[in-house]
Structure 1
């Protein structure tokens, strides 16, 4: 059977977020759009690339640990921390991924917290209570720094740390943020890659509709839109030219973008 649907791929490490941004060998980042373009050319399928932390966090939030959170917690600022051979972190707001950053070393003058990824060798010589205590303290120090900087509502632990949360959770009680272990294990990467592909490809299709509606081929991403382009978009829908989008104009705009089905306005 030939697959013709979308393809979602999660990769270990970091992938770039901005279109046109190149990979950085020093930081270990890969160019997201270059990989997506290559896969699409090879398969003919729309493709979405995400980092492992992005994919695993999205899956945990939608299908795993996030299911047990309250509605307010799940829709708040949720941080996913995948700790294994390295430390990767992703951030979600309202259930949507908003940021991914390197977390192997984080220091701003308050102390170097590198070495956080020193995980006891499970079943090995250093699989001892002392080793797990030391590891738990390093995790606490790192999460404390993230907590101070980003003030998340919830932190979800993934990777080997999440799978062995019973050995370190008692070291994390000093944190002000609720910490919960992930529940999906390594299958989270597969589920999350598919979920993010659906979200990201759907977003691209919506942006294409916006471009078509306003007659702009490129440059609708917020970080690239100029004041002149924003004014042009607004003026397109402000047919009364009074500087305000009236209800009927807003409805016309949503219809033009295929956001809602056509309906009458009282």
Structure 2
């Protein structure tokens, strides 16, 4: 099988690796660079080139983006430079890498990986994957089918974007203890649950590595709340899955 490469573009880091799609796991240890600031299209493309060339990869590349992505075009840019709005990102990355490129919302990619290879396997009904990092990403699935670009980190919570109160970056920015941060996450999950009534909520992003510090502090609720099984590799795996699906569709 052609090797497929996944790149996860985040607000603080850009990481990538070849992916073994049968196992849903990285085929090699990932390579990471810091996200440039400002995270303009030109500077992010250069960083992505560095990550992909580190492996001398030839073949399809899937890339996540922290915002709304429609037909390979980036429509919003909450945690990167506003120059991304309206860009043909798939074309931009494809030209720069000289490889077939597919771009997908970052949380949607993590969700695809978790539902196929992780904590959401074989779950029907409404499943939500929430990634806590620089912002809060969301992926909504109904009977295994993705409803793309939900971007629920921008729901209003206490008069501001929820991700400004309850993201992992907000915990660090406000120097919150785990119990204090868990209280904010709990309030956010309660709001999401009232809106969508999910049966399962999967918590991903970098903070999922430390799930034992905050998940036990959350209120018992109708939805089962579990940590992501692929942890912070889910975006890379999901990006590669999207690239493979695009390659098979052509």
- What TM-score bracket applies, with the shorter chain setting the length? 0.5 to 0.7
- The one of 107, 121, 127 equivalent to 1:78 is 127
Within 2, Cα distance between the matches of 1:149 and 1:200? 32
List alignment gaps of at least 5 residues for structure 1.
206-266
Report which of the two structures shows the higher radius of gyration computed on alpha carbons.
1
Structure 2: gaps spanning 5 or more residues? 1-54
Aligned to 2:67: 14
Retained in 2: the 8 A contact 1:140–1:175?
no
- Alpha-carbon distance between aligned partners in 2 of 1:105 and 1:38, rounded to the nearest angstrom: 27
After TM superposition, give the deviation of residue 176 of structure 1 in Å. Answer: 1.1
Q: Tell me if structure 2 keeps the 8 A contact 1:16–1:31.
A: no
Tell me if 1:162 matches 2:228: no
2: CA distance, partners of 1:144 / 1:125: 22
Structure 1 160/7 Cα, relative in aligned 2: closer, same or farther at 3 Å? closer
TM-score by length of 2: 0.63
Q: Does 1:183 align with 2:229?
A: yes
**What TM-score, normalized by structure 1, do the two folds share?**
0.60
* Mapped contact 2:67–2:75 kept (Cα < 8 A): no
Q: Do the aligned partners of residues 82 and 96 (structure 1) sit closer, same or farther apart at CA in structure 2, a change above 3 Å counting?
A: same
SS of residue in 1 equivalent to 2:193: helix
Bigger helix share: 1
Which residue in 2 is equivalent to 1:95? Answer: 144
Rounded to whole Å, the distance in 2 between the matches of 1:199 and 1:76 is 23
8 Å CA contact 2:67–2:77 kept in 1: the answer is no
* 1:232 paired residue number: none
Question: C-alpha displacement at 1:35, in angstroms?
Answer: 1.3
Runs of 4+ in 1 over 6 A off after TM superposition: none
Partner of 1:49: 103
Counting matched residue pairs gives 191
Output the CA distance in 2 between the equivalents of 1:22 and 1:65. 28
